[in-house]
A and B are shown apart, each in its own frame.
Chain A
Amino acid sequence: MHEKIGIPNLAIDEPLIFELGNSGRHSVDFEKTVLSPGSGDIPASALRSDFDGFPEVSQVELVRHFIRLSQYNYSVDTGFYPLGSCTMKYNPRVNEDMAGLAGFASAHPEQPATFCQGALELMHRLQRCLAEITGMDRVTLQPAAGAHGELTGMMMIRAFFRDRGETRSKVLIPDTAHGTNPASVAMCGFSAVPVSSGPKGYLETGDVLELMDEDTAAIMITNPNTLGIFERNIADIADAVHDKGGFVYCDGANLNALMGIVRFGDIGCDLMHMNLHKTFSTPHGGGGPGAGPLAVKEVLAPYLPVPLISRTEDTYNLDYDLPKSIGKVRSFYGNFLICVRAYAYILALGGSGLRRVSENAVLNANYLRKKLEEDYHLPVKTETLHECVFTDRKQHGYGVSTLDIAKRLIDYGYHPPTIYFPLVVSGALMVEPTETESLQTLDRFVDAMHAIAREAREKPDLLKNAPGLSKITRVDEVAAARKPVLRWIKQEAVNGE
């Protein structure tokens, strides 16, 4: 029986930066201007006069402030995140150093091509790697996140049909889909038509056949889906959609399960985005930046965003000559420094390494599934890959919910799994360990979950009042939304808000 690994540890309660420091303090210095003081040629009416409220802190106060804040955070570097569909794997340090190389970090996007061959070469090679991994023909690195990749793909599909004088209005979306799927679809003027997953947790071809028609532009599938289950009817589903002239879009958020094992382009998918900040180890950054490259089959190539990264012999270039392009989905070429990290990761792993990643991600998840299924209810018995979904059904009788289990895990020193998603499972608890966790970590996590299941039966209050060891307890989210306070305001300036 392991002891809890969550322990109290002294941390300084840190005020807002605006409440620190004193007038006249500063953290950095700049050369004084030699020429006429600033702004003689700018008319007074255009000059700014109000600089009230900006922090005035010394460098030591600045450092202590942000170091203390950092210490309030849980992170991959502090511990395990069994977060389903997020792929919180280890972020290799060498990738950070590679992104910091001066030639990459200081490169200006408007540098002439002859002066940034290294950047263009990296992007071109990364595109080729991602095309190989996904079995697609062409890749764009422009999208800044997975949802952005989805949007780009939907825009390209829309452009394809308009080019043929067709206006299709619908996109089929499984009920297990991530919220960004229907949101991306709606931003392109399509309606999201739900398709129910079958009783075994995957889509049945018949259900798709029933809904698929010539007014449907595409189906958006996540594979494996958010239950961790492989969509085994994908080939027949793809046929059903293609027969009526539609596209199969694959949301690649769960790609960590299948690298080197299944190639989506080979099994009927026409477009696919990847999340570099999931599968390809780039850091989550507390909410970004990520990157969501989109891979497509040649038939959609004319609609790719510009510029393309082209290659003639050994020279790389930016190519804007694509008359049917959807245009641009962001400024410049993509989250380049994130691409640098992902490319370094792919170079370090190689083809067989990527396959080992997926094999171990799936093995780890299946191991956890086996060890947890006695204590926690597993609603679907179908085989799962890199993640699986439990519910709180066995804990209901004690008045304990998924939320309580999640919050109690914090006291044991773990970040909770994904909760209440996918929506098709009531009280969902989605667990994805990734391949970078050791057997020891998994066993200790199982022990914690086992202990919590016992606490649920014997001392449910421990869960209901959790977490007790974190910096704060549960927060009042209702008050936060009802009377939003979204910024600090200097006290004298407050006039009865």
Chain B
Amino acid sequence: MDYVPNTDKDIASMLRTLGMDSIEECFEHIPKGLRLDGPLALEDGLDELRLVRRMRAMSERNADDCSSFLGGGAYRHFIPSVVTHLAGREEFYTAYTPYQPEISQGTLQSIYEYQTLMCMLTGMDASNASVYDGATAAAEATLMAQRVTKRNRVLVSRTVNPEYRAVIKTYAEAGSREVAEVPFNERGTTDPGALSSLVDDGTACVVLQSPNYFGLIEEPGLYEKAVHGSGALLVGSFSEPLAFGMIRPPGDYGADIAAGEGQSLGMGPGYGGPFLGILGCSSRFVRNLPGRIVGKTVDMEGRTAFVLTLTAREQHIRREHSTSNICTNQGLCALTAAVYLSALGADGLRQVAALNHDRAEYARKKIQEIRGAELAFDGPVFNEFTIRVPGDLHGLYERCLEERIIPGIPLENRYGELGDCMLVTVTEMNSLEGIDTFCGVLGKILS
């Protein structure tokens, strides 16, 4: 199936108009030595029935029947049907970027609503229309901070998601900029003393994450003075936005830029993408935000209208002097987030956050009662926490898999000093029975 409507008759008619005998003549001006002289080595095209069978078989080689306690930057949440249906409107997903506002008010208004909802969720003054994911949002935030402060050095807490730190480093390396890490203390949160001594008048920004990668809620109040005192910007990153249905968001704790992941807002984990990079800031930095932004205006008849604005920041206008090279962003994912949050409202957001937290607390308390397992860190968490298994964590992990339970993310490859630790995530998708079974299995293996 090639989705080409024109039949041989149509093609013949068009060739006559062009005075050509065959389609090959359209390519004759390309030097013969540059043209392929044989077919591509790809199998023949499949009809739809065989295509569906092939793809379905491949999808079934991914286990989706497990009891999962996975998180760490991607989360399993319930997606109400209404969200999938509305984000599945063809007029939204087959539409182009809204460069012609007269025929794109659907996209433009829904993104304006998305921007507003992101401001409400993160507590920031302004938001853009999205970037690729939480990791690139954090990287773009550091580039923003460097532009605004005209300083080169970036400090990142080690409690920030390791994927985000890796991307910040890759972007910084490309621009010959310096990144230094702030250690965490025995409580599993950013070490305030270390931060104070590392931040200086060459620091563009400090990147913190709360809840952090270990699931712990940090106390940004401890760091805010040190950061701002030296003239650096505070970047508040996050990977689980539903946490802000319960705990204080970046805008509330003094962040100048909020950069994080929006996947939890109505999208499945999708094996890692497409995700949603949320990027917001204080109003005084708006002209330094990368990516598209929708603004409100009027048309020639005075009607309210929405339009892409502040385009002088972007690549199609400023080219090598733009704030970023980003063009295509995550438009449909932003729409999905807007629909999800509108469907939940404040009450729904509070409820789902409460469910997440309660399930996590339930699991955390039960695991603490198991001999052979302990909490790695004590402090308050939202829906993720880190446990330590001093015995054979690797063996425990494999035995859980045999019971079709994915118990969490072992941390040995990400934090060498936490080789006997595992990140466990519990959401509203984990039933109490499922958690009981999980703890029963853990207890059996560790006894």
Report A69-126 residues with CB < 8 Å from chain B CB.
Answer: 69-78, 81, 83, 86, 88-92, 94, 96-98, 101-112, 114-119, 121-122
User: Which of chain A's residues have a CB closer than 8 A to the CB of B362?
Assistant: 35
User: Which of chain A's residues have a CB closer than 8 A to the CB of B90?
Assistant: 70, 75, 77
Whether B6 and A360, one on each chain, are in contact in the complex, defined by CB atoms closer than 8 angstroms, is yes
From known contacts A73-B92, A189-B175, A336-B271, infer whether A184 and B354 are also in contact, taking CB-CB under 8 Å: no
Chain A binder among B23-31, B201-209, B226-234, B439-447: B23-31
In this assembly, does A328 line the interface, its C-beta being within 8 Å of a C-beta of chain B? yes
Chain A binder among B132-140, B192-200, B369-377: B132-140
Alpha-carbon gap, A148 to B351, bound state (A)? 37
Whether B115 and A235, one on each chain, are in contact in the complex, defined by CB atoms closer than 8 angstroms, is no
Nearest-Cβ distance from residue A82 to partner chain B, whole angstroms: 11
Alpha-carbon gap, A189 to B13, bound state (A)? 52
Report B1-17 residues with CB < 8 Å from chain A CB.
Answer: 1-6, 10-11, 13-15, 17
- Other than the given A103-B60, A350-B42, A435-B6, 14 more pairs (CB < 8 A) read A27-B343, A29-B348, A30-B348, A67-B86, A75-B95, A76-B96, A106-B76, A155-B174, A183-B324, A288-B333, A289-B328, A333-B272, A363-B11, A476-B300
Whether B325 and A151, one on each chain, are in contact in the complex, defined by CB atoms closer than 8 angstroms, is yes
Which partner residue on chain A sits nearest B423 by CB separation?
A110
A sample of 17 inter-chain contacts (CB < 8 A) reads A39-B354, A103-B61, A110-B71, A111-B70, A111-B406, A148-B326, A178-B327, A179-B314, A183-B318, A275-B328, A347-B45, A363-B26, A410-B103, A473-B301, A479-B297, A480-B296, A487-B126
Which partner residue on chain A sits nearest B11 by CB separation?
A363
Whether A66 and B110, one on each chain, are in contact in the complex, defined by CB atoms closer than 8 angstroms, is yes
Whether A474 and B170, one on each chain, are in contact in the complex, defined by CB atoms closer than 8 angstroms, is no
User: Which of chain A's residues have a CB closer than 8 A to the CB of B60?
Assistant: 103, 118
Chain B binder among A10-18, A205-213, A392-400, A447-455: A10-18
Contact string against B for A residues 24-47, beta-carbon threshold 8 Å, 1 for contact and 0 otherwise: 011111111111111101110111
Whether B48 and A475, one on each chain, are in contact in the complex, defined by CB atoms closer than 8 angstroms, is no
Whether A30 and B331, one on each chain, are in contact in the complex, defined by CB atoms closer than 8 angstroms, is no
Nearest-Cβ distance from residue B9 to partner chain A, whole angstroms: 9
From known contacts A55-B345, A121-B61, A326-B170, infer whether A48 and B252 are also in contact, taking CB-CB under 8 Å: yes
In this assembly, does B89 line the interface, its C-beta being within 8 Å of a C-beta of chain A? yes
Report A114-150 residues with CB < 8 Å from chain B CB.
Answer: 114-119, 121-122, 129, 132-133, 144-148, 150
Whether A98 and B52, one on each chain, are in contact in the complex, defined by CB atoms closer than 8 angstroms, is yes
In this assembly, does A402 line the interface, its C-beta being within 8 Å of a C-beta of chain B? no
In this assembly, does A186 line the interface, its C-beta being within 8 Å of a C-beta of chain B? yes
In this assembly, does A248 line the interface, its C-beta being within 8 Å of a C-beta of chain B? no
Whether A330 and B271, one on each chain, are in contact in the complex, defined by CB atoms closer than 8 angstroms, is no
User: Which of chain B's residues have a CB closer than 8 A to the CB of A342?
Assistant: none
Report B350-409 residues with CB < 8 Å from chain A CB.
Answer: 350-355, 357-358, 361-362, 380, 401, 406, 409
In this assembly, does B109 line the interface, its C-beta being within 8 Å of a C-beta of chain A? yes
Alpha-carbon gap, A55 to B109, bound state (A)? 15
From known contacts A17-B113, A144-B132, infer whether A289 and B31 are also in contact, taking CB-CB under 8 Å: no
In this assembly, does B436 line the interface, its C-beta being within 8 Å of a C-beta of chain A? no
Whether A104 and B62, one on each chain, are in contact in the complex, defined by CB atoms closer than 8 angstroms, is yes
Chain A binder among B149-157, B180-188, B243-251: B243-251
Question: Which of B101, B112, B406, B409 is in CB contact (< 8 Å) with A487?
Answer: B112
Whether B66 and A115, one on each chain, are in contact in the complex, defined by CB atoms closer than 8 angstroms, is yes
Whether A54 and B44, one on each chain, are in contact in the complex, defined by CB atoms closer than 8 angstroms, is no
Which partner residue on chain B sits nearest A316 by CB separation?
B61
Question: Which of B88, B96, B325 is in CB contact (< 8 Å) with A284?
Answer: B96
Whether B45 and A30, one on each chain, are in contact in the complex, defined by CB atoms closer than 8 angstroms, is no
Question: Which of B219, B270, B401 is in CB contact (< 8 Å) with A112?
Answer: B401
From known contacts A363-B23, A484-B286, infer whether A330 and B345 are also in contact, taking CB-CB under 8 Å: no
